[in-house]
Amino acid sequence: MTTSAGAGISLLVPLLLLALSTTSTVSSARPDKADDVIQLPSSASRFFRSGGVDDDADSTGTRWAVLIAGSNGYWNYRHQADVCHAYQILKKGGLKDENIIVFMYDDIAYNVENPRPGVIINSPHGDDVYKGVPKDYTGEDVTVGNIFAAILGDKSALTGGSGKVLDSGPNDHIFIYYTDHGGPGVLGMPTSPYMYADDLNDVLKKKHASGTYKSLVFYLEACESGSIFEGLLPEGLNIYATTASNAEESSWGTYCPGDYPSPPPEYETCLGDLYSVAWMEDCKWHILTFYLTCLLISDVHNLRRESVHQQYELVKSRTSNDNSPYGSHVMQYGDMPLSKDMLAMYMGTNPANENFTFVDQNAIIPPVKAVNQRDADLVHFWDKYRKAPEGSARKTEAEKQVMEAMSHRMHVDNSMKLIAKLLFGINKGSEVLSAVRPAGQPLVDDWKCLKTLVRTFETHCGSLSQYGMKHMRSVANMCNAGIGKDQMNEAASQACVSFPTSPWSSLQKGFSA
């Protein structure tokens, strides 16, 4: 791109505003099928009482954890910040490093864009959460294959990394946390291929069949994350999962430039994700000499007195953002009785917090705004452009990144629309793209077809990338309508004669192997 910053700005603002308005998905009111499964007393979310709780209920077996940040690139700062924060919580809770497996690309802490080299924060006034985090699987070792091998305890299937796996036994408790971009039926990765829902659920079934855990809790942060388990995770596996959103909506970044609360002024990226900070922070805000302070649930609360379900309810309330357009519907899947377990069974608890038993639900204050996960890169590029001195190389670079991101978005959107018209006709094409299956049904009947059509699309049209994940439902609908590889190949070759580069081209891989 040869356009100067001055010449390009006339196009930059309207394109940016168009993208932010068209890609922000208003939360749909998809019902939580498990909302009425467990009935708690009305006071349960406010008072976590010691009566009736067995302090030794979690004393048998070992606690294990797998923490996964599925992205790279400084504009995705928040995902690695989430994982680092989660590690600090588990470490303070008493889990040993040998039982915590961390997957993160590790390109944030010492990134040239990071205003505090060697430091990662997860909230505006937060402490460094990067210090001490194990570097188990970093860079090109953050792969779907290594994640699955680690979960299954299969050291022979690993390629690189520390070699650490879930060497768990039948009495052990496992906590898995994933945070990144996602789309219907898929989760992002910094390497190829991406993680598909059917493969993940197959791995969880294999883990259960191996008899190497007593219970497993899975927290999942991603757009359309409900689609990863909906219609796919059966009961009877002793697995309980919660997701940041239902199967149709986006999840949200928080502590972003221009938001309130906002990051420190030197930061040009979102510091966290709304669902993730909601489970890691159960905030009680106090105004002290014009400062807002936040008490972290993991650092302050006695997790022996709070159940998984109680946290689910609090997180659900905060993440919905009062059902505003800046929020999503937290969901739950799998074996609901496990949600009665105390959080300490999976996260441990800080001995210094044994006397902390009270949570004021009304004190949870969601952010005034949040950023659609798929728009967080634009927010970063725009803030970088806005702050850069006129005529500087940094301003030119930021402008180029915004324009390339916008070009890539328009290319992916237009290509998918044209392919649908070629396959189904002008009138029916848009109908097929937007169809949504009833709640409780999986995204697609034939997952092999979905993967094949995605590979075929990317062969002709370039990587879908983190933004293009939103179109996974459209491709699934093509499979459900009987479209095969040959038909997609012909349509995609006509629709995509060429495709533009993207600002993530050197980092962000596609779905294909």
Q: How confident is the model at residue 61 (pLDDT cuts 50, 70, 90)?
A: very high
CA 125 – CA 315 distance, rounded (Å)? 21
SS3 (DSSP) at 296: coil
CA 358 – CA 302 distance, rounded (Å)? 9
- 483 compared with 354, residue with greater pLDDT: 483
CA 502 – CA 506 distance, rounded (Å)? 9
One-character DSSP codes across 447-503: HHHHHHHHHHHHHHH---HHHHGGGHHHHHHHHHTT--HHHHHHHHHHH-S-----T
- Contact in structure between 67 and 92 (CB atoms under 8 Å): no
Q: How confident is the model at residue 354 (pLDDT cuts 50, 70, 90)?
A: low
- 313 compared with 54, residue with greater pLDDT: 313
Tell how far CA 163 is from the center of its chain: 25
Q: How confident is the model at residue 356 (pLDDT cuts 50, 70, 90)?
A: low
Query: Which residues are designated catalytic?
Result: 181, 223
The confidence score (pLDDT) of residue 248 equals 95
Pairing of β 239-243 and β 215-221: parallel
CA 103 – CA 83 distance, rounded (Å)? 8
Q: Taking 60 as the threshold, does the pLDDT of residue 468 lie above it?
A: yes
pLDDT (tens digit, 9 = 90+) per residue, 383-394?
999 999 999 999
- 501 compared with 479, residue with greater pLDDT: 479
Chain-wide mean pLDDT for the chain? 85
- 186 compared with 293, residue with greater pLDDT: 186
Q: Taking 70 as the threshold, does the pLDDT of residue 374 lie above it?
A: yes
- Other C-beta atoms lying within 10 Å of the C-beta of residue 13: 11
pTM over 0.85: yes
pLDDT over 90 percentage in the chain: 73
Phi, psi angles (nearest 5°) of residue 238:
55, 45
pLDDT (tens digit, 9 = 90+) per residue, 130-142?
999 999 999 999 9
- Contact in structure between 48 and 359 (CB atoms under 8 Å): yes
Domains observed in the chain: 1-27+62-513 (3.40.50.1460)
The DSSP code for 389 is: P
The confidence score (pLDDT) of residue 48 equals 30
SS3 (DSSP) at 340: helix
The confidence score (pLDDT) of residue 242 equals 98
Q: How confident is the model at residue 323 (pLDDT cuts 50, 70, 90)?
A: confident
85 burial via Cβ count (<10 Å: 0-12, 13-18, 19+): buried
pLDDT (tens digit, 9 = 90+) per residue, 91-127?
999 999 999 999 999 999 999 999 999 999 999 999 9
Average pLDDT value for residue range 221-228: 97
Q: How confident is the model at residue 321 (pLDDT cuts 50, 70, 90)?
A: confident
The position carrying tokens 């040959």 is 486
Structure tokens of 509?
Answer: 């891989």
Average pLDDT value for residue range 365-392: 88
CA 299 – CA 85 distance, rounded (Å)? 11
134 prior amide bond cis, ω within 30: no
Comparing 44-48, 152-156, 176-180, 268-272, the range with the smallest average pLDDT is 44-48
23 burial via Cβ count (<10 Å: 0-12, 13-18, 19+): middle
Q: Taking 70 as the threshold, does the pLDDT of residue 1 lie above it?
A: no
Average pLDDT value for residue range 196-207: 98
What ranges in 210-281 are assigned the alpha helix state H? Answer: 274-280
Average pLDDT value for residue range 390-399: 96
The confidence score (pLDDT) of residue 433 equals 93
- 254 compared with 22, residue with greater pLDDT: 254
Pairing of β 252-254 and β 173-179: unpaired
The confidence score (pLDDT) of residue 286 equals 31
Q: How confident is the model at residue 301 (pLDDT cuts 50, 70, 90)?
A: low
- 39 compared with 145, residue with greater pLDDT: 145
Q: How confident is the model at residue 291 (pLDDT cuts 50, 70, 90)?
A: very low
